[in-house]
Amino acid sequence: MFEGLDLALAPGEAALVTGPNGAGKSSLIRIAAGLLAPAAGSVTGEGARALMAEVPALDPELSLGAALRFWSGIDGRRMAVGEALAAVNLADLAPVPVRMLSTGQRRRAALARVVASAAPVWLLDEPANGLDTGSVALLEGLIARHRAAGGIALVATHLPIALPQARMVAL
């Protein structure tokens, strides 16, 4: 799909991966996450990674709060769920079953899991899909805050997301 890609991100840096459908944006994110092996070359990284993929990976029959607590429990950060839900404006919906949530709310819930994980490396695959304009601004704010705290963000998107001083990677 793509070759000759050389990208290194230091703390506080971000990269915006753009390209037409099928260019390999999601594959790049999955390779960075360690889920796919690159056909050639290598990926190295320090610190835990948090992935926001196309699918939410939240049990539909559980309440939003309980579904997120499963993951934050695995991350050893059970207490972080409330704050993360507030950060994505979903605090009120914590008792609502995941299956009742709208597409955009599910995307924000997946974002809340990334926030709650406190992983230094964020890998976001089309994070703006299904979000309204207000929520995209929220997403941009969260990424900016993460970078200000020394985090790294690798974002693949076909929708415009404002990432100041981000490296541009066009596939």
Partner 1 sequence: MSVYAAIVLRELRRAWSTGGLALPVVFFLLVAILFPFAVGPDAALLGRIAPGVIWAAALLAALLPVERLVAPDLESGVLDQLAVRGLPDAGVAAAKVAGHWLGFAPALLAATVIASGLLQLPGEALAPLLIALLIGTPGLAALGVATAALVAGLRGAGALAGLVMLPFAVPLLIFGATAGQPGALKLLGAVSLLLVAGCPFVAGAAVRMGRG
Binding residues for partner 1, per CB under 8 A?
A: 30, 33-37, 48-51, 53-59, 61, 70-71, 73-75, 113, 123
Q: Which is nearer to partner 1, 22 or 160 (CB)?
A: 22
CB of 163 to partner 1, least distance (A): 22
Cα(39)–Cα(28) distance, integer angstroms? 11
Nearer to partner 1, 40 or 55 (CB): 55
As measured in angstroms, the least distance from the Cβ of 74 to partner 1 is 5
CA distance 27 to 2: 10
* CA–CA distance, 37 with 47 (Å, rounded to integer): 19
Closer residue to partner 1 (CB): 45 or 140: 45
The CB-of-30 to partner 1 minimum distance in angstroms stands at 8
**Using CA atoms, how far apart are residues 110 and 67, in angstroms rounded to an integer?**
10
Q: Could you tell me the two tokens for 32?
A: 């960075």
Taking the complex as a whole, the smallest distance from the CB of residue 29 to partner 1 amounts, in Å, to 11
User: What residues contact residue 19 under an 8 Å CB cut-off, 6+ apart?
Assistant: 25, 158, 170, 171
Q: Which is nearer to partner 1, 36 or 140 (CB)?
A: 36
Q: How many CB atoms within 10 Å of residue 19?
A: 17
Q: Reduced to 3 states, what is the DSSP secondary structure of residue 16?
A: strand
> Based on CB atoms, which residue is closest to partner 1, 54 or 83?
54
Question: What is the amino acid identity at position 164?
Answer: P
CB of 164 to partner 1, least distance (A): 27
First to last CA, the chain: 9
